[in-house]
Structure 1
Amino acid sequence: MNTTEIERKFLVRSEDFKTEAHKYTRIIQGFLNTHPERTVRVRLKGDLGYLTVKGKSNDSGLSRYEWEREISKTEAEALLKLCEAGSIDKTRYEVQKGTHVFEIDVFHQSNEGLVVAEVELGHEEESFEKPIWLGEEVTGDKRYYNSQLAKHPFKHWS
């Protein structure tokens, strides 16, 4: 899939989303490249693997180019061994609100305690229903990019 990804990212203020979730999946991911101009991610999501390249975000932090291909679980496991130091371990919950699906990531291990929600949009000005558990917006704050959390885990923030 080649596309421009448009999403907004928020902190989550309570675990109320868990009762609204229609799906959840454990995700392990690592990064083959975390250059500021592009990231190359390997993801193991259940029994599926993915290789993803993301470009640099635009000035608002809302949009960036994304290329993704499904790969086998075996290929993903092999590529994860080649990744840069640091990885992401999280459980992703999916919650439908109106016409949008919120993906809520509950981080584990070195990012334990961090819970972030993302909503993908069709265009930057698109409105959406905000759930009661949605907190402060952190769209464009690079500290919350998974590639940065792998290098600078949440537990080590001061």
Structure 2
Amino acid sequence: MAQEIERKFLVKDDSFKRQAFKSTRIVQGYLSSVPERTVRVRIKGEKGYLTVKGIGNASGASRFEWEMEIPKEDAENLLKICEPGVIDKTRYLVKNGDLTFEVDEFYGENEGLVIAEIELKSEDQAFEKPAWLGREVTGDTRFYNSMLMKNPFKNWKDQL
């Protein structure tokens, strides 16, 4: 069982795209979106995945995560029985020293939202912050994909 430690940030501009070494379209839905256990179905490029995540710790930076690749056809069928709402985004991978930022540019009802995540070995691990990195939103549940599905960015973006 793996423990995921990540920090999440808003992105100021699209200059990260010039630094990206890979981009992949992702479509995902949730079989369960309760905070104690989210169960996500994802199609990432030509592959399918099933992921279970536990509730985050007090800071929101650390939580249990289990993921398994499944046939794309199975993921497509599971998406049909997911809770209402879908997350549609492009993920850009951007090297940052020996770490990699995953930068998600959202579409549809979450259009205009761009979030960068970085996975760390510990919550206090230091890393260089690129100029395009904005305000930290780690632990702010509004920015969880499972919440963006229920209450899309278009509904509250003017409150930022």
For these two proteins, the number of residue pairs brought into alignment is 157
Which residue number corresponds to residue 113 of structure 1? 112
Structure 2 counterparts to residues 7-22 of structure 1, below 5 A: 7-22=6-21
Q: Aligned with 2:121: secondary structure?
A: coil
- Output the amino acid matched with 1:22: F
Which residue number corresponds to residue 141 of structure 2? 142
Any runs of at least 4 consecutive aligned residues in structure 1 with deviations exceeding 2 A, and if so which?
none
The CA deviation at 1:43 is 0.2
User: Which 5+ residue runs of structure 1 have no aligned equivalent?
Assistant: none
- Output the amino acid matched with 1:103: E
**Alpha-carbon distance in structure 2 between the residues aligned to 1:45 and 1:153:** 21
**Alpha-carbon distance in structure 2 between the residues aligned to 1:36 and 1:97:** 30
**Alpha-carbon distance in structure 2 between the residues aligned to 1:122 and 1:36:** 23
Q: Aligned with 1:84: secondary structure?
A: coil
Which residue number corresponds to residue 46 of structure 1? 45
Q: Deviations over 1:10-64 (max 9, x none)?
A: 0000100000000000000000001121100000000000000000000011100
Q: Deviations over 1:68-94 (max 9, x none)?
A: 000010000000001000110000000
Q: Aligned with 2:60: secondary structure?
A: coil
**Alpha-carbon distance in structure 2 between the residues aligned to 1:64 and 1:140:** 11
Q: Deviations over 1:101-124 (max 9, x none)?
A: 000000000000000000000011
* TM-score normalised per structure 2: 0.97
* TM-score normalised per structure 1: 0.98
Q: Aligned with 2:122: secondary structure?
A: coil
Q: Aligned with 1:17: secondary structure?
A: helix
**Alpha-carbon distance in structure 1 between the residues aligned to 2:76 and 2:94:** 28
The CA deviation at 1:156 is 1.0
Which residue number corresponds to residue 123 of structure 1? 122
Which residue number corresponds to residue 33 of structure 1? 32
**Identity rate of aligned residues, in percent?**
62
Q: Once superposed, what is the RMSD of the aligned Cα atoms?
A: 0.6
**Alpha-carbon distance in structure 2 between the residues aligned to 1:6 and 1:36:** 16
**Alpha-carbon distance in structure 2 between the residues aligned to 1:98 and 1:60:** 25
